[in-house]
Amino acid sequence: MPMSVLSLTDVYRARRRIEGRVCRTPLVESPSLTAQAGVPVYLKLETVQPTGSFKLRGATHALAVLAEQGGQRVVTASTGNHGRAVAHAARSLGIEAAVCMSSLVPRNKVDAVRALGAQVHIVGKSQDGAEVEANRLAREAGYVYVPPFDHPDVIAGQATLGLEIVEAVPDVANIVVPLSGGGLFAGVAFAAKAANAAIRMTGVTMARGAAMHASLAAGKPVLVDELETLADSLGGGIGLDNRYTFAMTQALIDETLLLDEASIARGIVHAYREERLVVEGAAAVGIAALLDGVLRTKPARGPIVLIATGANIDIDVHRKLIAASERSDTTTSSTPADLKS
Ligand SMILES: *Cc1c(COP(=O)(O)O)cnc(C)c1O
C-alpha cells in the first residue's frame, strides 16, 4: 500500500515542525453557498498564507525535515506557488534556495521569487530546460531537489490542512479539493479519512488538460497536453514515474469533477462578489462545482468544506473577469484568450 509511506503520527509531527512558520488558516461559513446547498458550506482560506497559497505547508515541512538532517541548499524549477513557497520556507529556516526558470518567465514572477530571497537561475527557453538545470544542480552542486507534490514530506505538510478541517468541523460530510498533482488531495484525504472514513472526498479540476483525471481513468500515470486555463495552478503533469500521489489519490478519491472555463470564471466572480475574496482559478473550482450543482451531496447529508487554495491570480485577469460579469451578469463567453486581449 502506498499509504504506508504516511502515518497519522507523521502528520502530527509535520504540524509541530511547521508551527509558527505557516498559518493555521481561518475556516468561515459562506451564507450564500449554504443557502445554495441546503447544508452548511465552509471555506478554508489558504489565500491568507504569507505566500498566498497552501503550498507553503508542504514546502515548509519538506525543508524543515531537510534542515534537521543538516541540508543547506534546495532547488526547484517552479515559477508558481511552489516556487514561492520554497523560497519563503528556505528563508524562514535559514537555508539557501535556488529557483531555475526559463528566459520566457515574466519579469514580475522572477522579481517575486527574488524578493523572497531565493537565487534565480535563468536557463534556456522552456520549463523543461529549467527542470534539467534544477536536476543538474541537485546532482552536481549539492542542492536537494524539492518536488511540488510527489514526496512524502510534502504530502504530510499538506495533510496538516486536513487535520485543521476535521478539528474545526467534526461532522464534515464532504471535503472538496482542487486537484492537480494530487499532493494536496492525498494529504487532506489521508488525514480526513483517518478521522472518519465516511467523509466523502471530491477532487475538482479543469476539463482542459487534467492529468490526474486522465491518469485515474487510464489506471496509470499518463501524459496529457497542457492547455491554457484560468486554473493555471492546476496545469502540468503528474509524472510518468509518479511514486506516491497517484496511488494515494486513486485509493482515497470518491468522485472527480471536471469544470469548463466559464464555470471557473463564475467561481472567481462569486468569491469576489459574495465572499469578498480574491481567489485564483485553481482555488475557485470548489465554489464553481457547488454553484453548478454538480456535487453529488444533494440532497444534503451534512456540512461541506471547500478549500480556497490560493489567491495568486494575475490582477488584470481578475479585473477583466469582474468587469465582464458586471457588463453581462454572466461570464459564459469568457475564455482565457478573451482575457488576454
Ligand atoms: C498546486 C495547487 C493546487 C493543486 O495541488 P496539487 O498538490 O498539485 O494537487 C491547487 N490550488 C493551488 C492554488 C495550487 O497552487
Mutate to test the pocket of ligand 1, among 233, 244, 268 (most ligand atoms within 8 A of CB): 233
Decide if pLDDT at 37 tops 70: yes
Which pLDDT band, with edges at 50, 70 and 90, does 331 fall under?
very low
Which pLDDT band, with edges at 50, 70 and 90, does 127 fall under?
confident
What per-residue confidence (pLDDT) applies to 303?
Answer: 96
Decide if pLDDT at 199 tops 70: yes
Q: Atom 8 in ligand 1: which residue has the minimum CA distance?
A: 181
User: 180 C-alpha vs ligand 1 centroid, how far in Å?
Assistant: 6
User: 82 C-alpha vs ligand 1 centroid, how far in Å?
Assistant: 9
Decide if pLDDT at 114 tops 60: yes
Decide if pLDDT at 341 tops 50: no
For the CA of 280, the nearest atom of ligand 1:
13
Average pLDDT estimate for 18-36? 97
For the CA of 180, the nearest atom of ligand 1:
9
Secondary structure of residue 268 in the 3-state scheme:
helix
For the CA of 181, the nearest atom of ligand 1:
8
Decide if pLDDT at 334 tops 80: no
pLDDT digits (tens, 9 = 90+) for 226-270: 889 999 999 989 999 999 999 999 999 999 999 999 999 999 999
What per-residue confidence (pLDDT) applies to 299?
Answer: 58
Mutate to test the pocket of ligand 1, among 48, 49, 53, 176 (most ligand atoms within 8 A of CB): 53
User: 158 C-alpha vs ligand 1 centroid, how far in Å?
Assistant: 10
User: 32 C-alpha vs ligand 1 centroid, how far in Å?
Assistant: 25
Average pLDDT estimate for 108-114? 88
Percent of the chain whose pLDDT exceeds 90: 82
Decide if pLDDT at 203 tops 60: yes
User: 205 C-alpha vs ligand 1 centroid, how far in Å?
Assistant: 10
pLDDT digits (tens, 9 = 90+) for 163-196: 999 999 999 999 999 999 999 999 999 999 999 9
User: 293 C-alpha vs ligand 1 centroid, how far in Å?
Assistant: 23
Closest-CA residue to 310 (of 339, 277, 335):
277
Give the range among 11-25, 53-67, 117-131, 273-287 with minimum mean pLDDT.
117-131
Gap between the terminal Cα atoms of the chain: 48
Residues in contact with ligand 1 (CB, 6 Å cut-off): 53, 55, 81, 149, 178-185, 233-234, 280, 282-283, 309-310
Record the cell numbers describing residue 242, joined without a space: 509518479
Decide if pLDDT at 1 tops 60: no
User: 99 C-alpha vs ligand 1 centroid, how far in Å?
Assistant: 18
Contacts of 12 (CB under 8 A, 6+ apart): 163
What per-residue confidence (pLDDT) applies to 340?
Answer: 52
d(C-alpha 24, C-alpha 28), whole Å = 13
Q: pTM (2 decimals)?
A: 0.94
Location of C-alpha cell 493555471? 232
Average pLDDT estimate for 59-63? 98
Average pLDDT estimate for 317-321? 97
User: 327 C-alpha vs ligand 1 centroid, how far in Å?
Assistant: 31
What per-residue confidence (pLDDT) applies to 335?
Answer: 57
Average pLDDT estimate for 288-294? 94
Mutate to test the pocket of ligand 1, among 46, 234, 306, 318 (most ligand atoms within 8 A of CB): 234
What per-residue confidence (pLDDT) applies to 143?
Answer: 96
Q: Atom 2 in ligand 1: which residue has the minimum CA distance?
A: 233
Contacts of 115 (CB under 8 A, 6+ apart): none
Which pLDDT band, with edges at 50, 70 and 90, does 150 fall under?
very high
Record the cell numbers describing residue 69, joined without a space: 538532517
User: 309 C-alpha vs ligand 1 centroid, how far in Å?
Assistant: 7
Q: Domains of the chain by range and CATH?
A: 2-53+152-340 (3.40.50.1100), 55-145 (3.40.50.1100)
Average pLDDT estimate for 301-315? 95
Closest-CA residue to 175 (of 159, 199, 206):
199
Which pLDDT band, with edges at 50, 70 and 90, does 297 fall under?
low
What's the chain's average pLDDT? 93
Which pLDDT band, with edges at 50, 70 and 90, does 339 fall under?
low
How far apart, in Å, are the Cα atoms of 332 and each of 220, 277, 322, 338? Answer: 34, 21, 13, 11
Average pLDDT estimate for 114-143? 92
Q: What are 215-222's contacts with CB under 8 Å, separation 24+?
A: 215/242, 215/246, 216/246, 216/249, 216/250, 216/253, 216/256, 220/246, 221/246
